[in-house]
Amino acid sequence: MTETGGREIPVALYDRLSSKAQAEEGYAGEGHLHELREHMKATGRSIVEEVPDDPGEKRWMHDRPGIRRIKELARAGEIAEVWSWGWSRIGESPVPEVLRIELAEHGVILRSMDDGGDGLGGEIMRAVMGVLSKDEQRERVRRSRMGTRSKARQGRVVGNAPGPRYGFRRVRNEGGRTVGYEIDPERMAVVRRIFEMLDAGAAIHAVQVALERDGIEPPRGRSRRWSRDTIHNIVREDSYLAHTPEELAGLVTEGLLDETVHSGLDPEKPYGIAYFGRTRSSYVSTRSKKRQVELVPRSE
């Protein structure tokens, strides 16, 4: 039994769930924290506080509510150790390494169930795991993107897509799963109106004024204002434009469209194209939730 001066070691338990879905399914209550409680009981440690971080808090961010609370307990001298179910639950490297140094300034040790234990072996294991965790996450993201692009090429609905273009709506099966898109007559009428007004010589500002005057809600619905960029993007959107059979065949040659999808199209009909993944975003820093958007090469 691990004790200090005849007393149980005071510890805080920390857990970070990757998504709201994990929280809703009870992963923390039935999994991570349960195992941690059992381990603390078996090794003579007393739990001062359990600190679950908000679902969805990003692994690479240093400033999270749960991490802040852990530091408060350390500064107050209420704990001697912080335990997590896995080293990767603390965050992506260098978050665990930085936190370990910050806690050490208050005499608090950062531990996990898979950290290699006490002594030099554990120290080496914790240093190696930080690097391995980051590489593992990168490989997971790479495989996920590859699978998602494959689904898009096959004409299948991508689950993490932002949604259908304005003027279309989701088609769901009996289980509520999105299996395709169909025209939303009311919104598609707005798209046609925009095209017709511009084709007749109206300025974008005149289109804005007309849509807002008639109380037509813009795509995002956050305000009643139609932006110039929204109108400009609509008239350039490939989903509304007719593409020739030659253009569609060219997409197959480029590897952007699966041949099985192309062979099932009617060569006598025009088709629009809904591209997936034209842009990607990333966080500007490890201390901010602000994202920057960049264009993705056409080959991707």
Average pLDDT, the chain: 80
pLDDT, tens only, 55-109: 667 777 778 889 999 999 999 999 999 999 888 788 877 788 888 889 999 999 9
Q: Say if domain 3-141 classifies as CATH 3.40.50.1390.
A: yes
List of E strands, 17-80: 45-53
CA distance 199 to 108: 69
Q: Which residue has the tokens 């273009």?
A: 165
Does position 113 have pLDDT exceeding 50, yes or no? yes
**Local structure of 207: helix, strand or coil:** helix
DSSP 270: -
| 199-226 residue pLDDT tens | 999 999 999 999 999 999 888 766 678 9
Mean pLDDT over 30-42 rounds to 85
Does the pLDDT of residue 20 top 50, yes or no?
no
pLDDT one-digit tens code per residue, 162-197: 678 899 988 888 887 788 888 999 999 999 999 999
Cα gap 129→87, rounded to integer Å:
7
Sole residue written with tokens 């005499």: 107
Q: Which of 272, 299, 256 is nearest to 150 (CA)?
A: 256
Could you tell me the residue ranges of all domains in the chain? 3-141
Confidence of residue 140 (pLDDT cuts 50, 70, 90): low
Distance CA 134, CA 146 (A): 19
Q: Give the rounded percent of residues in the chain with a pLDDT score beyond 90.
A: 28
pLDDT-based confidence at 135, cuts 50/70/90? Answer: low
Q: Which residue has the tokens 């813009």?
A: 218
pLDDT over threshold 50, residue 31: yes
| Element housing 110 (H / E) | strand 109-112
> For 240-263, how does the pLDDT look when each residue is reduced to its tens digit (9 = 90+)?
988 888 888 998 898 888 888 888
State the pairing for strand pair 7-16/81-84.
Answer: parallel
DSSP for 141-154 reads HHHHHHHHHHHHHT
pTM over 0.85: no
Q: What is the pLDDT at residue 2?
A: 46
- Enter the tokens of residue 125: 């294991």
Distance, CA of 83 to CA of 6 (rounded, Å): 21
How far apart CA 73 and CA 13 sit, in angstroms, is 11
Alpha-carbon distance 67 to 58, whole Å? 12
CB atoms within 10 A of CB 214: 9
Show the tokens assigned to 299: 């080959």
Closest CA to 106 of 71, 140, 139: 71
pLDDT the model gives residue 210: 94
Which helix or strand (DSSP H or E) is residue 272 part of?
A: none
